[in-house]
Amino acid sequence: MNSTPKSLNFYRFSIKLTLRDRNTGEGVAVNHMNLVTKIILLITLLMAAVIVLYTYANEQSIGVVEDQINLANQDRLEHFIKEIEDTLDQVSKYSNILTKDSDFAELAANALPANRYDYSTLAEAVERKLGLFGLSSDWMSRINLYFPASGRALSSHTAIQYDEAYLRERMTSEWRFREVSVNGIEKRAFSRFFVEPYAGISDLKKASIIVEVDLMEDNIVALLDSFKTKGNNDPFLFKAPGQFIMNGSSNETMARQITEAYDWSASSSDKKHEMIILDNKKYLVYFFTSPKINWTLVDYVPLEDILAPVTRSRYLFYVTAAMLLLVGGVAVFLMYVHLQIPIKLLTASVRQLKQGRFSTRVKLNPKQEFHELSVQFNEMAEQIQHLVEKVYFEEIRAKEAVMKQLQSQINPHFLYNCLAYIISMAKMKRSEPVVSMAYSLADYYKYTARNVTMTTTLKEELDFVSSYIRIMNDQLNKIRCTVSVPPTMERLVIPRLLIQPIVENAIIHGLETKLENGEIRIHAAEEQEYYTITVEDDGSGLTDDKLERLNAQLAAEEAQGDSFGLWNVNQRLRYQFGKESGLRMEPSPLGGVRARLQWRKQLQVEGGGEHAVDSARG
């Protein structure tokens, strides 16, 4: 009792689906996006928006990071150069002090004390001051003093000789990077001469004291090493053409490639960094030029190393986005399996019910949410199928009753003709035709009396027609019959006594009154949509007007005139195969009349079995 209301409720639901389906025009699926498509689109749009926003934010953050890194590195380079310049300024300041020192002035004036003690005291003072000068800077340096008037020379390292040619060749008021000899070892150093008075820089005769300061390259290298330990950079000093001061672990080949790749002549004072590509790898190169020594501090870093934190963050985001997409895809898939597929199955099943396929059932996993709904649908479909089949079988029984009634009308009609022939032969004292006709009638009624089924196969019907023609030839002895039937049509199921009344009509109205021999042709054909059987004769035929009136009588609801047999055939054919089936009379190329029987192929089942539900609804 509880199942009926549920089925009815679901039936209302299916009607709504059907009505909505009809609104689309021809009962097809609604052309709107389904739920899964909408969710996929929503997730895609959300992820696309997030990715676009993150990409924009990432680009902005990369720009900010690059700017900050560039500023920081430029400040570091500027601080490095400033440290070198401050050291040079400090050395220059102390060197100028030395040129004005009183003790050194005595040596410059060649006013040496005659007293050994005083001379020793002066020498100690000079050595002490040179030592203090060396301690005034953290850098390792060498100081040489030259006194042109006395031809003497002093050094903070080893004893040296006054060499005027050496001074004339190398003396300059600017810092120069050159090779120097320290204790017999060739080294490189920044060197500068300080002269008192300054006019002596161009004329040694005017100079009273000359101070030569050498700041060794090792100091710069140590400073570059300390600068390098603060990052993954590789700083070096460069001066065109091709002069380098490398740090202790510098990649000299890379340094030369970088300096060769950059156009130093086109470089402006405002530009502090440049992007350079070497071997398909990007490098960010920073440079800062010292105006005092005219050397450029160059530092380069692989761009991927600078942006490594940002890159890791970006990759982490992409992995997270991919995981979100994957999780979203799994969620959509689960929704599709547990929601969309059951809805599609239910919708398709409702459409099949609408089309008359009442055996449709929905099979869903008991664990799915729509299982209860599918159970309700199956119960409803089962009840509908039961009711429809009940009505249909009642309709079949009603049709069979009508066909039996029509067939019973044929049998007396044919029997009357045969009995008239027997009476005629008996009156003529011809016993042999009477006996033959009696046996033939016995066979005839043996065939027609089998009322268990009202149908037969086409082959059996044609065999019966052949027997009937033999009976008629016993009377007329002038009828020739040819039959042409494809083997595929021999087992087609048709109503009993469908062709025999047509043959009988052709003999009686077309061939019986003919003096010459007559011919009947029975031809069966399988067309694209129809099965067709034609029965034609070469009798006298009918005019077009008579054929038109005859076809009108066949189509009438009740028999009219003397065409009862043909009308009966037409009615039974329409009862069996639907209103589009029937019998039609037309002229024959043989000169007589052609009777055409025609019915749709899809309404036919083979083998004499029962019709399917869909076929009989016709």
Percent of the chain with pLDDT over 70: 80
Q: What is the tens place of the pLDDT at every residue in 314-350?
A: 788 888 888 888 887 888 788 788 777 888 888 888 8
Output the pLDDT for position 251: 83
Buried b (16+ CB within 10 A) or exposed e, 234-267: bbbbbbeeeeebbbeebeeeebebbbeebeeeee
Q: Is the pLDDT of residue 258 over 60?
A: yes
The C-alpha torsion from 443 through 445 and 446 to 448, rounded to 10°, is: 120
Average pLDDT over residues 149-176: 81
pLDDT tier at 492, thresholds 50, 70, 90: very high
CB 249 within 8 A of CB 238: no
Output the pLDDT for position 97: 76
Which domain covers residue 561, as residue numbers?
A: 453-600
Average pLDDT over residues 358-362: 79
Residues 188 and 121 placed together within one structural domain of the fold: yes
Domain boundary among 208, 232, 250: 208
In this structure, is residue 245 part of a structural domain? no
Output the pLDDT for position 535: 96
Output the pLDDT for position 521: 95
- Measure CA 489 to chain center: 51
When mean pLDDT is compared across 121-130, 290-299, 402-411, 524-533, the lowest value belongs to 402-411
Q: Is the pLDDT of residue 386 over 50?
A: yes
Residues 186 and 114 placed together within one structural domain of the fold: yes
Residue with tokens 């030839």: 473
Q: How many domains does the chain have?
A: 3
In this structure, is residue 46 part of a structural domain? no
Strand order in the sheet with 185-196: 152-155, 141-147, 209-216, 185-196, 176-182
Domain boundary among 159, 181, 208: 208
Cite the DSSP H helix spans in 171-274.
217-228, 252-261
> Would you call 439 helix, strand, or coil by DSSP?
helix
Average pLDDT over residues 482-494: 92
In this structure, is residue 66 part of a structural domain? no
The answer for residues whose C-beta is within 8 angstroms of residue 520's C-beta and 6 or more apart is 469, 479, 480, 481, 482, 503, 506, 507, 511, 535, 536, 537
Q: What is the tens place of the pLDDT at every residue in 529-569?
A: 899 999 999 988 889 999 999 999 888 877 777 777 788 88
Output the pLDDT for position 44: 81
In this structure, is residue 238 part of a structural domain? no
C-alpha pair distances (Å), 341 with each of 9, 336, 364, 423:
22, 6, 10, 76
Instruction: Report how far residue 418's alpha carbon sits from residue 424's, in angstroms, rounded to the nearest whole number.
Output: 10
Q: Is the pLDDT of residue 3 over 70?
A: no
Residues 464 and 568 placed together within one structural domain of the fold: yes
Q: Is the pLDDT of residue 273 over 90?
A: no
Residues 470 and 562 placed together within one structural domain of the fold: yes
Residues 493 and 585 placed together within one structural domain of the fold: yes
Output the pLDDT for position 22: 41
CB 576 within 8 A of CB 597: no
Q: Is the pLDDT of residue 411 over 60?
A: no
Domain boundary among 179, 208, 237: 208
When mean pLDDT is compared across 70-74, 125-129, 238-242, 302-306, the lowest value belongs to 125-129
Percent of the chain with pLDDT over 90: 10
In this structure, is residue 330 part of a structural domain? no
Residues 497 and 569 placed together within one structural domain of the fold: yes
Instruction: Report how far residue 567's alpha carbon sits from residue 569's, in angstroms, rounded to the nearest whole number.
Output: 5
What would the two tokens of residue 322 be?
């991919």
DSSP state of 265: G
Residues 392 and 472 placed together within one structural domain of the fold: no
